[in-house]
Chain A
C-alpha cells in the first residue's frame, strides 16, 4: 500500500540533501545550506508519521464506545465475576467472564474455544469477549513488541494516550503495574467490576500477551495521580477460576 507520508518525506529529505550539499560546496551560501538542512529535518519528521494517524480524542472515544457495548452485555447477563484475560494463538488477548463456575474446567480448555462467544463445559458457563483493543492508533499493537514488559506496557498505554507513563514489577506470579496519570477511563460500573478500569484492562492484556499466560486483575487502587494494579499470572491448568 502506498505510504504517502514515507514517500513525500523521503522526497523532501532527498531534495534537502542535494540543496544543502550543492549550496555548501558549490554556491558556498550558508543560508541556503541551512535551508537544505531544515528541509532534511522536516522531511525526516514527515516520513516518521505513521500512515493513518488518528486524533487522540478519536482514539479515546473509539475505546470508550467499545466499553459501552461490553457494559450492556454484562448488564443483560447480570455478571459480576472478574474476567480472565487469555492470550489466543493468533496473538489477540480475549477476556473470559464466568457466568457459572464449577471448578472442573481448566483455563486451557477455554483457550481451545476462544473462537466462540459462549463457553459451556460440564457445569461451567461463561462468555468470551474482545476487550477494548490497546492497538487502536498504535503503530505497534500489543504483542508485537516483546523486548521487556515495561516497553510493552508503554506501547499499550502511553502510545495509546491512556496514561503518561507506566512501570511494572514482577514478584513470582504477581505483577504490580503502576500507571501514572491515567486518562480516558470509563464510568461503567459493571465494566469496572468485571474487566477492571480501562487502563487496568489494557495493562492486563499487555501482561497476558507478554507472558503468553492467562491473567486476572486482583486489585486496583488509586494513589495520588497513579493507579496501582495487581495482576495475577495464572496457570493454564488452573481450574479454580472457572
Chain B
C-alpha cells in the first residue's frame, strides 16, 4: 500500500476514489493469497468492498448522466 501511494503520488494522481479502489484490490488479493488468521469476521474487506461498489456505481451514474 505504501508503494502504491508513493507511485500514484509521483504520477500526480489526485483522485481519492482511485487510491481506495487500488487499496481494495491489494487488500483482497493479499487476503486470498496469504489467508492470515483473524479473531473476528473480516469487517475491513466488507467495508472496502462497499466503498468500491459505491465508487463504481457513482462512476457509472456519471457516465450515464453525461451521455
Within 8 A of A (CB), among B1-43: 1-2, 4-5, 8-9, 13-16, 19-20, 23, 27, 36-40, 42-43
Query: Could you tell me the dominant secondary structure of chain B's interface residues?
Result: helix
Residue A44, interface by CB 8 Å: yes
Q: When the two chains form the complex, which single residue of A42, A48, A53 contacts B40, counting CB atoms closer than 8 Å?
A: A48
Indicate the size class of the contact surface on chain A: 10 to 19
CB contacts under 8 Å to B, within A133-156, are 137, 139
Residues of B within 8 A of A184 (CB): none
- Closest CB-CB distance, B56 to chain A, in whole Å? 18
Report which of B9, B14, B27, B38 forms a contact with A49, defined as CB distance below 8 A. Answer: B38
Is A45 a contact of B27 with CB atoms below 8 Å?
A: yes
B2 proximity list for chain A (CB < 8 A)? 35, 38
In the complex, which residues of chain B have a beta carbon less than 8 angstroms from the beta carbon of A33?
16
B8 x A31 contact (CB < 8 A): yes
Bound CA span A220–B47, Å? 41
Chain B: residues with Cβ within 8 Å of the partner, total of 23
What CA separation (Å) do A27 and B53 show in the bound complex?
Answer: 28
- A contact set with B: CB distance below 8 Å: 30-31, 33-35, 37-38, 41-42, 44-45, 48-50, 53, 137, 139, 159
CA distance A159 to B43 in the complex (A): 17
Q: How far is the CB of B37 from chain A (nearest CB, A)?
A: 5
Say which residue of B5, B27, B40 sits within 8 Å of A31 (CB atoms).
B5
Beyond A49-B37, A49-B39, A137-B37, whether A44 also contacts B44 by CB under 8 A is yes
Q: Is A139 a contact partner of B5 (Cβ separation < 8 A)?
A: no
